[in-house]
Amino acid sequence: MNRNTWIRQLHRWLSIAFTLAVIANIAAMGMDEPVVWIGLLALVPLIPLLATGLYLFILPHAAKRRDVAG
């Protein structure tokens, strides 16, 4: 599997983890005493999501740049 493919796969799986964390957050809102760590839970997948997402965003631009140069 080349690097672009596994970064795309990673982004896809992180998006599922992020979605679950958001659902946990919504569920926690209904609790009498909301727990702080559930609030931070979504940040764990969101940070690598941003990094892998920006990488995927740059890919076509980087490819175009190489075309022009080459």
Q: Interface residues with ligand HEM (CB under 6 A)?
A: 8, 11-12, 15, 18-19, 49-50, 53-54, 56-57
Measured from the CB atom, is 2 or 32 closer to ligand HEM?
Answer: 2
**What residue is closest to ligand HEM based on CB?**
53
Contact 64, 16 (CB under 8 A): no
And the tokens for 2?
A: 């080349």
Q: How far is the CB of 48 from ligand HEM (least distance, A)?
A: 9
The CB-of-61 to ligand HEM minimum distance in angstroms stands at 10
Question: Which residue type is seen at 55?
Answer: Y
